[in-house]
């Protein structure tokens, strides 16, 4: 299992080395990955139907309760199949869509990384692991949105998306930590065994608030929806895969996953219903103001996500079943519509719905796919959309107090989405074919087979829902404990939902014939732009940037001496404040060992060089004097039996002197010296800091001379880590993670120096 | 600093110092030493050589740009850290071969970790030093 989850990362890491040799075959090598994974997950399907869930455990950081536990149940299986299934089609589609693109290998690497993170996210049972994968999806999606990295717009969109989802991720992390501290475990399965603990705890509202923000940012709910339309700057396969079928559903997944744990309370239900309802109506209306096919799809996706949040919020048996069904339905028809849009864009070079028409004459199979997907989105009988719509209406209609309002809202949304779906799936293919597109021809089967396949699935599942019934049952039971037996059918008899369906269709058809997409509608919304959430977010961003600029300029004005002074003052005040209250120094002269002549010589050497450094007129003199001080410190380390420290200090000191010599050797001779005033100021700060360090050193005497920690290391370094040099064993074994992070810091520093010195942003200067 | 004595000496000092740095690296687990100090020494050896013969000459004898040592070293440390994971132990568990290797002593994942640190230190120190001295 772990190999299945992480294989995407492995393959992505290997690409750079082999891409040179695989340029031609790379798409097919990569497409094998999701296909193999899809088959792998399918093989577990029967086990999932029989038992409630299957666990796979791998140790990671057991001491902190963070392990790679994977839980395969109905819900995670549904997502895993969507990720790998739609992934396979998208991977194949890309082979032709981005044929010959110079960064094709990179693109597949990002896609594979994304797929792996998404799989990890939906399969993780450990909340902390899930968070890690959650962030990884944000990061890989950043790369994919900004794939056309030469376009400033696409870079900006990528940054907005990362900003919003990244912020949401941090909030989610806070939520997870609170959950873990209340429930005393990071394991979802363990938490699920006693959900009352969390629901009745005093921090319950905090928990759901934090989880909601995490889910809403990821799933583009109002008012965080604005990053999604921008993210459509990415190539169409990315929009299909990330921004309609999988990643944006991560928030939905999270809510569905937490429903048995946190759900079914007043705040949970009412918040989700409100936010979901606002989002679905708002975005559905918005989608009709667009003329770009992808924008229409972007807003209709947000609206569909709103519907899902709304359904999870209702939380009744029918509503959760409706949500489970609608996740499948939406993924299938929306991915189809996106892929169809991609083909249109690829072949005609435009996505403007007002300029397209009659394309069915030149690309029949694409038209069929688009048409079927639009029908499924509209919820016409014999398609999967119909079944899920019926269940939704059933849910709102029997909700109780607010039934009429909720039903009206969802019927209206559905009617608007009907129009949006038809604009994308039907309109470009019907009517008169503009003469400029007469030469357009059917693209390679790699492009049109994937959408057609998904469209056919819409029909297949719609006409014979029995095929997916048992699978939906297991999805349903993982969202809802003790779920009743379900029965999916085409014909529920003459009842209210059927009437509402007819009403929706009539409304939709009416709107479709009455309303034509036009630029004028978009223009009319312009005046509201100043209060749109995206503007507010941008204003906040600019404010933040301005403040950061001011702050940086204030402290980092480019004079090294000022940096040193501010650091010294800060440390002195911070430590001095603490010492002011609790200093307790008394020197026990009997404890201090005899001063040996060799030590005395070293001290004299140090003091002499300090004064030499202070009064030397040349830079070289100062550097040499400082070097001597460093070496003298080495000697002290040696006297007090710390050979490791002495060795390191010795090398570091040599390097520092060399570095100084390299730079200062070339500088002109000292001509001006600092004034008496600055000298006095510097002397004051130095003395202050020196005093602080001396006081601290004397404080250390007060602490007990031997502690448990050093005893532990001394005793167990050979027993546990087979090393005799305790210092080194601590570095490479006991605290190895620290060392690893420190080396990373070292590398970052080196890269920083390299890019500061070598990067020339002004190429004209070179000549 | 182009005196004949200095040049001749550094010609012989470079291999000696490099060997010494590897010696320091390998003995780290039992006696004073380790990857960090070893790396610093190796970097110093190259610095010494470049003082005597100039940067170009130094780059010529190394062939590999020192900045590539950083990712290689990082990869080695990470692999050494996660290798126990493959056989089902938590990461950073020390793994050891049964028999000591001739001249080296016991070989384990900690040694590889240290080798990674060694390479990173050489890589980043030389990158910093070379790029500074090249720019000026």
ipTM reported for the complex, 2 dp: 0.86
Q: For an interface test with A, which of B95, B124, B133, B136 has the most A Cβ atoms less than 10 Å from its Cβ?
A: B124
CA distance A300 to A284: 6
A73 by DSSP, 3-state: which? strand
Closest in A63, A658, A739 to B117, CB measured: A739
Residue A647 to residue B33, Cβ atoms within 8 A = yes
Taking the alpha carbons at both ends of chain B, their separation in whole angstroms is 17
- Note the pLDDT tens digit of each residue in A92-150: 888 888 887 778 888 888 889 999 999 999 999 999 999 999 999 999 989 988 888 88
Residue of B nearest to A749 (CA): B124
Closest in B29, B89, B135 to A723, CB measured: B29
Nearest to A74 by CA among A54, A57, A102: A54
CB A333 within 8 A of CB A458: yes
CB A244 within 8 A of CB A301: yes
- Note the pLDDT tens digit of each residue in B76-129: 888 888 877 777 666 666 667 666 666 666 677 778 888 999 999 999 988 888
Partners of A21 in the beta sheet? none
Element (H or E) spanning A69, and its range? strand A66-73
CA distance to A351, A375, A425, A430, per residue, from A356 (Å): 8, 19, 12, 9
Site of tokens 């809802």: A480
In b/e form, how buried is each residue of A258-268, taking b as 16+ CB within 10 angstroms?
Answer: bbbbbbeeeeb
What A413-416 contacts at long range (C-beta under 8 Å, 24+ apart), as own/partner pairs, is: A413/A280, A413/A281, A413/A284, A413/A303, A413/A306, A413/A307, A414/A379, A414/A389, A414/A504, A414/A508, A415/A504, A415/A507, A415/A508, A415/A511, A416/A284, A416/A285, A416/A287, A416/A288, A416/A303, A416/A511
Residue of A nearest to B31 (CA): A725
CA distance to A373, A419, A424, A525, A564, per residue, from A285 (Å): 20, 10, 15, 11, 58
Residue B94 to residue A721, Cβ atoms within 8 A = yes
**Backbone φ/ψ region at A725: left (φ over 0), alpha (ψ -120 to 50), beta:** beta
3-state secondary structure A133-185: HHHHHHHHHHHHHCCCCCCHHHHHHHHHHHHHHHHHHHHHHHHHHHHHHHHCC
CA distance B110 to B117: 11
Residue A531 pLDDT: 60
pLDDT, average across residues A199-210: 88
Closest in B32, B36, B110 to A723, CB measured: B110
A and B: number of Cβ contacts within 8 A: 149
Is any Cβ of chain B less than 8 angstroms from the Cβ of A449? no
Residue of A nearest to B97 (CA): A722
Residue A758 to residue B94, Cβ atoms within 8 A = no
Helices A403-425 and A293-314 pack at an angle, to 10 degrees, of 150
Helices (DSSP H) in A426-484: which residue ranges? 445-463, 466-479
Report pTM. Answer: 0.74
Residue B132 to residue A732, Cβ atoms within 8 A = no
Most confident of the ranges A300-309, A424-433, A508-517, B97-106 = A300-309
Q: Can you state the percent helix, strand and coil of chain B, rounding each to 5?
A: 75, 5, 25
Contacts of A1 in chain B (CB under 8 A): none
Query: pLDDT grade, residue A767 (50/70/90)?
Result: very low
B99 — phi, psi (to 5°)? -105, 140
More confident residue, A553 or A720: A553
Partners of A55 in the beta sheet? A71
CA distance to A221, A513, A749, B11, B67, per residue, from B127 (Å): 47, 68, 10, 21, 6
Q: How far apart are the CA of A643 and the nearest CA of chain B, in angstroms?
A: 6
Q: How far apart are the CA of B69 and the nearest CA of chain A, in angstroms?
A: 10
Contacts of A644 in chain B (CB under 8 A): 32-34, 37
- Note the pLDDT tens digit of each residue in A67-104: 888 888 888 899 999 999 999 998 888 888 888 777 88
Percent of chain A with pLDDT over 90: 13
Answer whether the bond into residue A476 is a cis peptide, omega within 30°: no
Most confident of the ranges A223-232, A407-416, A462-471 = A407-416
Q: How far apart are the CA of A722 and the nearest CA of chain B, in angstroms?
A: 8
Residue A766 pLDDT > 50: no
CB B122 within 8 A of CB B42: yes
Handedness of CA A498, A501, A507, A513 (dihedral sign): negative
């Amino acid at each position: 299992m772990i190999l299945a989850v992480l294989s995407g990362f492995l393959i992505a890491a290997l690409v750079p080395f082999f891409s040179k040799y695989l340029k031609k075959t790379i798409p097919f090598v990569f497409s094998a990955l999701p296909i193999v994974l899809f088959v792998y997950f399918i093989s577990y399907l029967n086990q999932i139907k029989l038992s409630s869930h299957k666990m796979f455990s791998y140790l990671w950081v057991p001491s902190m309760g963070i392990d790679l536990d994977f839980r395969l149940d109905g819900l995670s299986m549904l997502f895993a199949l969507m990720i790998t299934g739609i992934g396979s089609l998208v991977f194949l589609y890309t082979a032709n869509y981005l044929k010959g693109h110079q960064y094709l290998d990179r693109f597949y690497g990002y896609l594979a990384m994304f797929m792996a993170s998404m799989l990890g996210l939906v399969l993780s049972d450990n909340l902390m692991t899930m968070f890690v994968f959650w962030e990884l999806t944000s990061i890989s999606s950043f790369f994919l949105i900004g794939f056309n990295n030469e376009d400033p717009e696409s870079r900006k969109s990528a940054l907005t998306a990362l900003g919003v989802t990244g912020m949401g991720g941090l909030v989610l992390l806070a939520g997870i930590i609170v959950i873990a501290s209340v429930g005393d475990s990071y394991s979802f399965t363990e938490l699920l065994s006693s959900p009352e603990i969390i629901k009745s705890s005093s921090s319950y509202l905090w928990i759901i608030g934090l989880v909601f923000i995490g889910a809403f940012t990821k799933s583009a709910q109002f008012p965080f929806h604005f990053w999604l339309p921008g993210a459509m700057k990415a190539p169409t396969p990315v929009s299909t895969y990330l921004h309609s079928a999988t990643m944006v559903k991560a928030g939905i997944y999270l809510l569905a996953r937490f429903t048995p744990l946190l759900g079914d309370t007043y705040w949970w239900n009412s918040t989700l219903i409100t936010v979901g309802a606002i989002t679905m109506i708002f975005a559905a209306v918005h989608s009709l103001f667009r003329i770009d096919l992808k924008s229409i799809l972007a807003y209709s996706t947000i609206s569909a996500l709103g519907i899902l949040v709304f359904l999870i919020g209702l939380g009744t048996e029918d509503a959760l079943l409706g949500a489970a069904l609608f996740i499948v339905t939406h993924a299938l028809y929306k991915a189809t519509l996106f892929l169809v849009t991609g083909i249109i864009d690829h072949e005609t070079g435009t996505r403007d719905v007002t300029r397209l028409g009659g394309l069915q004459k030149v690309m029949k199979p694409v038209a069929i796919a688009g048409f079927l997907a639009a029908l499924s989105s509209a919820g016409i009988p014999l398609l999967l959309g119909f079944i899920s719509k019926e269940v939704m209406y059933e849910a709102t209609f029997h909700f109780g107090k607010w039934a009429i309002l909720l039903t009206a809202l969802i019927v209206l949304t559905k009617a608007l989405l009907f129009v949006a779906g038809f604009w994308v799936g039907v309109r470009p293919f019907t009517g008169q074919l503009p003469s400029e597109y007469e030469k357009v021809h059917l693209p390679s089967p790699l492009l049109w087979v994937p959408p057609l396949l998904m469209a056919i699935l819409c029909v297949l599942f719609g006409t014979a829902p029995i095929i997916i019934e048992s699978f939906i049952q297991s999805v349903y039971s993982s969202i809802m404990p003790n779920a009743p037996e379900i029965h999916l059918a085409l014909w529920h008899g003459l009842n209210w939902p059927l009437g509402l369906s007819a009403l929706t269709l009539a409304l939709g058809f009416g709107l479709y014939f009455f309303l034509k997409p036009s630029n004028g509608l978009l223009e009319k919304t312009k005046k509201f732009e100043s209060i749109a959430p995206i503007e507010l977010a941008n204003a906040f961003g600019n404010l933040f940037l301005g403040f950061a600029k001011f702050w940086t300029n204030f402290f980092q004005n480019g004079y090294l001496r000022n940096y040193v002074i501010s650091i010294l003052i800060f440390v002195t005040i911070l430590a001095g404040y603490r010492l002011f209250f609790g200093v307790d120094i008394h020197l026990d002269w009997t404890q201090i060992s005899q001063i040996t002549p060799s030590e005395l010589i070293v001290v004299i050497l140090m003091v002499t060089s300090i004064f030499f450094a202070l009064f030397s007129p040349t830079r070289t003199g100062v550097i040499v004097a400082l070097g001597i001080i460093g070496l003298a410190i080495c000697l002290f380390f040696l006297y007090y039996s710390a050979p490791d420290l002495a060795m390191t200090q010795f090398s570091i000191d040599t390097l520092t002197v060399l570095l100084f010599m390299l730079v200062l050797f070339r500088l002109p001779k000292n001509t001006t010296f600092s004034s008496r005033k600055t000298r006095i100021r510097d002397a004051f700060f130095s003395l202050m800091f020196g005093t602080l360090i001396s006081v601290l050193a004397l404080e250390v005497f007060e602490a007990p001379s031997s502690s448990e920690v050093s005893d532990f290391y001394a005793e167990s370094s050979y027993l546990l880590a087979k090393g005799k040099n305790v210092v080194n064993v601590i570095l490479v074994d006991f605290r190895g993670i620290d060392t690893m992070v420190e080396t990373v810091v070292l590398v970052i520093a080196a890269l920083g120096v390299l890019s500061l010195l070598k990067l020339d942003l002004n190429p004209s200067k070179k000549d | 600093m182009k005196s004949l004595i200095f040049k001749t000496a550094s010609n012989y000092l470079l291999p000696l110092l490099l060997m010494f740095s590897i010696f320091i690296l390998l003995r780290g687990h039992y006696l004073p030493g380790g990857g960090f100090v070893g790396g610093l020494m190796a970097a110093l050896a190259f610095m010494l050589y470049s003082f005597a013969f100039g940067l170009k000459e130094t780059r010529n004898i190394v062939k590999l740009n020192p900045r590539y040592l950083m990712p290689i070293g990082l990869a080695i440390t990470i692999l050494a850290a996660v290798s126990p994971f493959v056989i089902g132990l938590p990461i950073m568990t020390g793994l050891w071969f049964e028999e000591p290797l001739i001249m080296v002593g016991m070989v384990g994942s900690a040694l590889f970790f240290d080798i990674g640190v060694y390479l990173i230190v050489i890589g980043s120190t030389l990158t910093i030093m070379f790029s500074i001295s090249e720019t000026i």
